[in-house]
Chains A and B, each alone.
Chain A
Amino acid sequence: MSLIELIEGPLWTFSATLFVIFVFWRLISILDLRRRGASPKPQGSRLAGALRALLVRFVPRPPFTRSGRVWFTTVAGYAFHLGLFVLLLAAVPHVEFIERRIAALPWEPISRTGFVIAAEISFLGLIMLYTRRFVDPLVRRINRPDDHVASLLTFIVMLTGCMALGRQSAFLRGLHMGFVELWLIYFPFSSLMHTFTWPISRLVTGWEAGRRAVRW
C-alpha cells in the first residue's frame, strides 16, 4: 500500500470515525450537564429569549458598535468563517471527494474564480485574526496553547489545500489529506468545537435570560 493509498484509505476512515464519535460524545456530554431540580417560576418567554439570542448575536450589540476592535473582529471573523465554509463545501475537489466517499451533494461546486476569491477572503481574515492573538495585550493573555494549535492547524490545512490546487501531484494531495486527518482528530478535543457549540451556547444563555425576563 502506497502512502497516498494509506492516507486516503485507512487513515481517512480512522480520523473521520474518531471525529464523528468524539464530536457526538462531547455534544451529548455538554447537553448532559443540564441542571436538574426545581427552578423559580419563569418571568418571561424562554423560547423567545433563546431565539432572540441566537439571531441578534450575529452582529455586535449596541454598546460595542462604536468600537473599531469589535468591528474588526466581526468583519474578519465573518470573512474567515464564510470563506472557509465555501471552500469546505463548494470547492470542486471537496465536492468530488464528498460525493465519492460520503454522499451526493445537492449543489454544484463553485468555479475556480469563486474558489480563489473565497480562499483569499478566508486567508485574509484568518491571518489578521491570528496576528491579533499576539499583538493585542488582552487577547494575548486569554489565549491558551490550544487556541494557537487550532489556528495554526487550520491555517496549514488551508495552505496545503491551496498548494494542491493544481491537482498535479499526488504528494501534495496526500499532504493536504494528512493534515486534514490530523485536524479532524484534534477537532473534538479543542476550541475548534465552537463550530458546533456556538448555537447551544446562545440558545442556553438566551433561554436563561428569557426565563428571567432579561434583555441582554
Chain B
Amino acid sequence: MVILPHVPGAHPAAPASRTTRRSGPLLGRWLVPVGVIAALLLAVLMLASVSAQTVDAPVSVRPPEGAAPVAPPTVRAPGVPHRPLGFDAPENTLGSRSDSDIWRVLREGAAGTTAAPRPDDGMLIEGRRPPFVKTPRPEIFTRPPATGLLSDFTRADWWSRIRDAETGLPRIGGYFLGVVLAVIVLFAFIRGPIPVEGGFSGRRIRRFRLSQRVVHWSIAIVFVLMALTGLTLQLGRPFLIPLIGKEAFSVIATASMQAHNLFGPVLIVLLVLLFVTFLPGNFPSRADIVWLIKGGGFFGGHAPAGRYNLGEKGWFWTATLIGAVLGITGIIMLFPDDLGTRALLEISVFLHGAGALIVVAYLMGHIYLGTYGTEGTFEGMVTGCVDENWARTHHELWLKELEERGKIEECRE
C-alpha cells in the first residue's frame, strides 16, 4: 500500500512552512539556490538589456522623403467658401490663406455633416457654455481671447480653457496640490509629531475591528494607485512632459489610463464598504464645535473628541460624497457613448478632475497625520489597538464613554 504524506502548504490558507526544506531526494538542498540563481540571472539580463536597448521607437507620422504631398481634409461650413483646411501660417492677419473665417464659424456652432451616428452629430465644435456661467460674452468673437480659467467664458471656449495645459485645470490643480504639500511640510517642520500626553501607558485598547482595517488598507492601496495614475493623466501635460518628453509620457499615460479605468470600479466597491464599516461614529456632534474652536489640538492644547474628531469626520464624508461624484462621473467617462451626451461628458470630466484634486489634497493630510504627524496613530490602524493615553489625548470623550459603559476591550497581543 502506498500512503502519501500530507503536503503542507497545498492549501492557500495553510502556508507550506517546511515543504521546500524537505522536498525529497530529487531536489535536496539545491532547489532553493538554483531558483534564486536563476531569478538573479534573469534580473541581471533584463537590467543589462534595459540599459543597452531602447524600446518603443517613436512611430513617425511624417511621410517618407520624396513622397507626394497629401491634400488636407476639407470641411465646409455654411456661408464659407470651400477651401482646404491647411494649417499653413497665414501670410498676414487676414491673408489669402487665413482660415480664421471658418474657425470663427465653427466656434459659433456651425453644423456640418458627419458619418458618425452619435448625439450632437454635425456639431464640429460644441457651442455650449456650462450651466454655471450665466452671462455669455458673444462679443468675444470680435476680441482677442482673454486669459485665465474663469474669465470670458464663451459658448465654445470654456471647455478648451479648462483643459488647457498652461492656464486650465491641470496647471491650477498642480499648483493647488503643491501649495497643500508645502503647507503640510511647513506644519511638520514647525509642529513636528503631535505627542501622546503623558507618554505611552502600555495599556492598549481595541479601536478598529479587523473588517475596518482590511477595508481601510484595501482602499488605501487602490486610492493611492488611482491618485497616482489620475494625477499623471491630469497634470502630466504641464508638469511631466517638460521633464520626460512626449514619447515617455505617452507610454506612462497609456499605462495610467488603463490602470485608472480598471481600478475605478474596484474603488467604487471599496468606497461602499468603507461607508458601511465606518459610518457609526461619523455623524456630526456638539463636541465637533469644541474641537474646531480648539484647533483640533494641532497648535497646542487639548481638544477632546468622540470616536472620530471633526477632521476625521470631514475626511469620511469627503471620501464618501466626493467619492460618489468621482464614481458616477468616472462611469460616465468610461461609457461615454452609452451614458452621456457631450455636455454631460464635459461636466463629468470637469467634476472628476476638480473633485479628485480635493480628495487628493485631503488624502495627503490624512497620510501625514496618520503616519508621522501623530504618534501612535499608524499602529492603531494596523493592529486595531491604541494606547490608552493616545485615546485620552485624541479621543477623550470616546474613552470616557467606553469606560462608563464598561465596553473597553483590552488588547493582549
Contact = CB atoms under 8 A, between A and B. Distances in A.
Q: Tell me, yes or no, whether A binds B.
A: yes
Interface residues of B, number: 71
B14 to A, nearest CB: 8
Contacts of B383: 135, 137
Given A135-B214, A193-B9, A204-B5, 12 more contacts: A28-B24, A30-B24, A116-B265, A127-B222, A134-B217, A135-B384, A169-B255, A178-B46, A185-B39, A189-B35, A194-B9, A211-B3
B382 A135 contact: yes
Which of B7, B17, B53 has the most A CB atoms < 10 Å from its CB? B7
Given A30-B24, A127-B222, A135-B210, A185 B251 contact: no
Contact of A163 (B255, B384, B413): B255
A147 B15 contact: yes
A33 interface: yes
B259 A30 contact: no
Interface of A: 2-4, 6-7, 11, 14-15, 18, 22, 25-26, 28-36, 39, 42, 57, 68-69, 72-73, 77, 81, 116, 119-120, 123-124, 127-128, 131-132, 134-137, 142-144, 146-147, 159, 162-166, 168-172, 174, 178, 181-182, 185-186, 188-189, 191, 193-194, 197-205, 207-208, 211
B27 interface: yes
B103 interface: no
- Majority DSSP secondary structure for residues of B touching A: helix
A106 to B, nearest CB: 28
Given A137-B413, A143-B15, A201 B3 contact: no
Contacts of A185: 35, 38-39, 42
Given A123-B266, A135-B214, A169-B251, A25 B27 contact: yes
A143 B88 CA distance: 66
B265 A201 contact: no
Contact of B35 (A147, A159, A186): A186
B266 A77 contact: no
18 contacts: A3-B53, A11-B45, A22-B35, A32-B24, A34-B5, A68-B211, A120-B265, A127-B221, A128-B214, A128-B218, A131-B218, A135-B214, A136-B210, A162-B258, A185-B38, A198-B11, A204-B3, A204-B5
Contact of B26 (A32, A39, A194): A32
Nearest to B384: A135
B20 interface: yes
Contacts of B270: 124
A182 B214 CA distance: 29
B293 interface: no
